[in-house]
C-alpha cells in the first residue's frame, strides 16, 4: 500500500450563484487553467452538509449561514477519479460519489481564496461557466441550475 492516500471517495460540489445565475468558478492551483465550483472530500464523521459548508468556507471564505444556508439538491453522481489524483485515495479506489449543494448569494460576493488550492476566481453567466469547467459532473450541475432553477429538489436538512 505504499503511496496510497486516505482521502474518502465521497465529496461535495457547491454551486455558488447569484439570483440571475452567475456562477462562481475557481481555478485549481495544482492544475492551472482548470476551473471548477467549490468541491472537496468528506472527512470521517462529517455529514455531507458539514463537508459542503466546511469546503465552502475553506476555499472561498464564504459563510453559508450569512446567506441563508446551503441547499442540498439531493443529487449525486458517481464518476471515475482522474488517474493523476488516485494516489490521494486508498489503493484500488477508482470512483468517487459527488453530492451537489447550492448557495444563492445576492450578487458576486468577495472571495478569499485558499492559495494552496486555487489561483483565481471568476463570476460567469451559467452557460459560460458550464462551458469553462473541466468536470462533466460540474458542467451538468451548472446546466441544471441554468435550465431548472436554483433549487431543482430543495432540501435544507442534512442527510
Q: What is the CATH number of domain 10-148?
A: 3.90.79.10
Percent of the chain at pLDDT > 70 equals 91
Distance CA 16, CA 14 (A): 6
Distance CA 158, CA 138 (A): 21
DSSP state of 126: H
Main-chain phi, psi angles of 150, to 5 degrees: -70, -20
Q: Taking residues 10-39, report their average pLDDT.
A: 96
The residues spanned by each domain of the chain are 10-148
Residues 91-149: tens digit of each pLDDT: 999 999 999 999 999 999 999 999 999 999 999 999 999 999 999 999 999 999 998 76
Handedness of CA 100, 124, 54, 95 (dihedral sign): positive
Amino acid at each position: 500500500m505504499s503511496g496510497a492516500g486516505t482521502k474518502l471517495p465521497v465529496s461535495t460540489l457547491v454551486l455558488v450563484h447569484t439570483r440571475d445565475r452567475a456562477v462562481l468558478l475557481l481555478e485549481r492551483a495544482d492544475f492551472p487553467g482548470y476551473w471548477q465550483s467549490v468541491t472537496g472530500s468528506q472527512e470521517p464523521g462529517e455529514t455531507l452538509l458539514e463537508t459542503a459548508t466546511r469546503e465552502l468556507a475553506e476555499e472561498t471564505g464564504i459563510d453559508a449561514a450569512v446567506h441563508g444556508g446551503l441547499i442540498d439538491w439531493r443529487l449525486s453522481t458517481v464518476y471515475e477519479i482522474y488517474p493523476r489524483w488516485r494516489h490521494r485515495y486508498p489503493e484500488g479506489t477508482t470512483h468517487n460519489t459527488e453530492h451537489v449543494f447550492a448557495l444563492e448569494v445576492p450578487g458576486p460576493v468577495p472571495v478569499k481564496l485558499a492559495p494552496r488550492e486555487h489561483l483565481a476566481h471568476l463570476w460567469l453567466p451559467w452557460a459560460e461557466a458550464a462551458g469553462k469547467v473541466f468536470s462533466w459532473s460540474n458542467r451538468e450541475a451548472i446546466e441544471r441550475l441554468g435550465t431548472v432553477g436554483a433549487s431543482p429538489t430543495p432540501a435544507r436538512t442534512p442527510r
